[in-house]
Structure 1
Amino acid sequence: MALLVTLSIITVLIAGGLELNRRVRAAVVDTAATRDRLTLTLMASSGIHAAMAMLIKDKSESPVDSLQEDWANPEKIAEVIADIPFDAGQIGVTIIDELGKIQVNALIDFPKGRHFNESQKIMWDRFTRLLIAQDEETFKDVEATAIINSVKDWLDSGDDDATTGLNGAEAEYYQGLDPPYMPANGPFMDINELSRVKGIIPELFRGTGPAGLEPYVTVYGMTQVPQEVDGKDFSYEGSININTADLPVLIAMMPSENTDYAQAIFDYRNEKDGETFVHDLSGDGWYKNVPEIPSDFTIDPKLIRNSSDVFRIQANAQMNDIQETVTAVIQREQEKKTGKWTCRILRWQVGTYE
């Protein structure tokens, strides 16, 4: 009996010891992972601030922003990041011009917020038709006009039965969904809100192989107006930086859906002689110098700009098989008293940017 009791006690002690060991090891691993995650977040944050320093330096050197500058060159960014000492791990940083995209909030005429901005409406029509044409089978029931009307109804400040056209959507439509929700009847604050608009199916928003709406549109670009209208003192100009716009956006900016002209402008903008860019992009009308462009060809001046002050910076840090992403949307601003340029953070997100 004494032997059995002894063996039973030893068995219980061994089992308890093993369980205690497992819990201690798990706690150590979790603590190490938390430590590494915090370290990675701080590393990525330092990458964000290094990128902001590059953008401030760029603004002091040139009023024009283009893909020919250091902030858009991955190798130049890597050189700056290399000057930040880390005991372990590494970070990668990308900078994207938010004003090289289509400003979704510019579709209507803020601050009144009631009617279409016609130049934006025409561009939206070209853009959505271009996306639909990429996969006509998937988008056979999707209509460009219906999407534009529904986006307008989501944006406009009128929430009544007067839907735009025959296929817009006001609150009554969204309240009939499961689950129900309300339209904003104001500006989009997050690009993911666009996926909640009638007609914008997930395949159109995210893409089905070819990219969807998401990479080419932005909610940023707000400017203040001197006089309030219905309690609103802001507007969205909707002008797009022709020096940084991606090819689908350039196609949408064309007076007609002329992919050849857009491709010619895209290639001219990126042409190099060795490591040096060939062409000057400092003027709004530089695209007229493209050899393939006819002399009478003109892009709507309301759609064009050649500078930007809103950028999205994404920093990815890696260490010990763990990675962390920090994304910041920043706006360059000039201090009134000192005249110095600074970066104001409009959005800060830890984790994958959605």
Structure 2
Amino acid sequence: MGTGIEEKDTGDKDVKKIKGNRLLYDNKKNKTIAGRRPWKPRSRPYSVQIGDRNCDVLISDESGKININKITDDTKDNFVKFLTFCKLDILTAETITDSLLDWLDKDDLHHINGAEKDYYSSLPDPYEPKNGSFESIEEMALVKGVTPHIFEMIREHLTIYGAGKINVNFASREVFSSVPMFTSEIAEAIIQFRKKWGSVKRIDSLKDLLSQFGIVGKDYQKILNYLTISDSNYMTIHAIASSDKIKNSYKIVIQKSLDNCKVIAAYP
């Protein structure tokens, strides 16, 4: 039984060996390197072995998700577009979106398909709407129209952290569907670009890519209001550890700063 941590697939062909999470030799730099090799958000998991257990660790940036606290009357059509992409019918999508806006706002006035205190107080197990920002994604399950099945279907694409712009380097096809003027073909082109080059490192690369689909000039400038290539300070770390007999999954959300990281949410 091993006791150290050995990375099995670094994703870097220039790295010869990693042991104890320390990089021993790098062909590219032609020298031994001391110290820890940092893990960063990426689309594929890191694979490590801890004792006799294999562990896949996926690190994703929360900026690749839709921030439900940033949805407004001006952008609600984008969320409806996302929900219909997730196979919800238009009435259900509009009900959830309007009810979400009612959950966020501080008044008791209904959006057309929304819900306020009178609706929630009439339920068999009554409760009051938040009338404020979501403090956890789980609160979304309390919003009118969000069934347990719908919540499980959309939760991985939602966040309550960050500035609200969608990071093209981490967004899923579902999240891309919420961007105005974006089609499935555009989303697929960006995903294939990431697979080939790792990430979109320059905004000009995004400009060139979108121009192939006719998004230029004022349309391109409008798109930039919704997209970013900059990482946020919030990351999700999802670890799945397995052996011959058992399998465990752990997920945490961390807030990072220059000198430390703070766990702000944890899920079994």
Q: What TM-score range do you get, normalising by the shorter chain? A: 0.7 to 0.9
State the TM-score, normalized to the length of structure 1.
Answer: 0.58
Note if 1:244 corresponds to 2:170: yes
Note if 1:144 corresponds to 2:93: yes
Which of 215, 225, 228 is 1:305 aligned to?
A: 228
* 1:342 paired residue number: 260
Partner Cα distance (2:143, 2:43) in 1: 36
User: Displacement of 1:56 after TM fit?
Assistant: 9.1
How many residues of Structure 1 are paired with residues of Structure 2 in the alignment?
Answer: 231
Whose strand proportion is higher, 1 or 2?
2
Which of 301, 324, 334 is 2:248 aligned to?
A: 324
SS at match of 2:81: helix
Greater RCO between the two (CA within 8 Å, min separation 6)? 1
Partner Cα distance (1:95, 1:122) in 2: 30
Deviations for 1:45-81, whole angstroms, at most 9, x for unmatched residues?
Answer: xxxxx8xxx99946xxxxxxxxxxx542646x22xx3
1:80-229 mapped onto 2 (5 Å cutoff): 81-82=48-49, 86=51, 88-108=52-72, 116=73, 118=74, 120-131=75-86, 134=87, 139-140=88-89, 142-158=91-107, 160=108, 162-165=109-112, 167-206=113-152, 212-221=153-162
User: Displacement of 1:122 after TM fit?
Assistant: 3.2
1:38-77 mapped onto 2 (5 Å cutoff): 57=38, 71-72=41-42, 74=44, 77=46
Unaligned runs of 5+ in 1: 1-42, 44-49, 59-69, 109-115, 207-211, 222-236, 272-276, 335-340
Cα separation, partners in 2 of 1:129 and 1:89, compared to 1, 3 Å: closer
Unaligned runs of 5+ in 2: 6-20, 22-34
User: Displacement of 1:257 after TM fit?
Assistant: 5.1
Partner Cα distance (2:90, 2:147) in 1: 10
Native 8 Å contact 1:56 1:332 kept in 2: no
Which of 202, 215, 228 is 1:283 aligned to?
A: 202
Amino acid at match of 1:100: G
Which of 189, 213, 229 is 1:293 aligned to?
A: 213
RMSD over aligned Cα atoms:
2.9
User: Displacement of 1:170 after TM fit?
Assistant: 0.6
Cα separation, partners in 2 of 1:316 and 1:179, compared to 1, 3 Å: same
Percent pairwise identity: 27
